[in-house]
């Protein structure tokens, strides 16, 4: 079962959206600067369209995506030690926070929509508890 936790629009000044654990000190590093996504256990950056091209919609979901819900750019495990997800333009590092049902590890899938740069970023979080969805 899938449930929308939160959604909003951002003005992505540098064409990036950050999804991170509120308490993390992780900071993933780009290899080329052309990556669609860079990720560490506590923080993920997703390349988007810039603010000059319009706002970017960001969605946080519990559960797995439906087929056709954008193009997948990340399927990884993230650690939300604080139990709080921060979604932000990197210039404003804590502009939105969302409390998760629990702290810990979550399978994290990121899907994007929009060409050439995404106008929508959908983050799907699922507990890794033997295959049951959150």
Radius of gyration of the chain (CA): 14
- Of the ranges 56-65, 112-121, 122-131, which one carries the lowest mean pLDDT score? 122-131
Q: Is the dihedral of CA 32, 21, 116, 66 positive or negative?
A: positive
pLDDT, tens only, 2-31:
999 999 998 888 899 999 999 898 899 999
């Amino acid at each position: 079962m899938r449930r929308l936790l939160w959604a909003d629009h951002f003005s992505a000044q540098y064409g990036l959206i950050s999804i991170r654990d509120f308490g993390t000190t992780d900071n993933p590093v780009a290899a080329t600067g052309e990556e669609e996504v860079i990720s560490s256990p506590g923080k993920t950056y997703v390349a988007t369209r810039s603010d000059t091209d319009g706002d970017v919609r960001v969605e946080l979901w519990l559960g797995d995506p439906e087929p056709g819900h954008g193009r997948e750019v990340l399927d990884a495990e993230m650690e939300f030690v604080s139990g709080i997800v921060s979604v932000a333009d990197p210039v404003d590092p804590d502009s939105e926070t969302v409390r998760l049902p629990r702290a810990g590890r979550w399978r994290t899938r990121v899907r994007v929509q929009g060409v050439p740069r995404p106008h929508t970023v959908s983050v799907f979080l699922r507990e890794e508890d033997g295959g049951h969805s959150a």
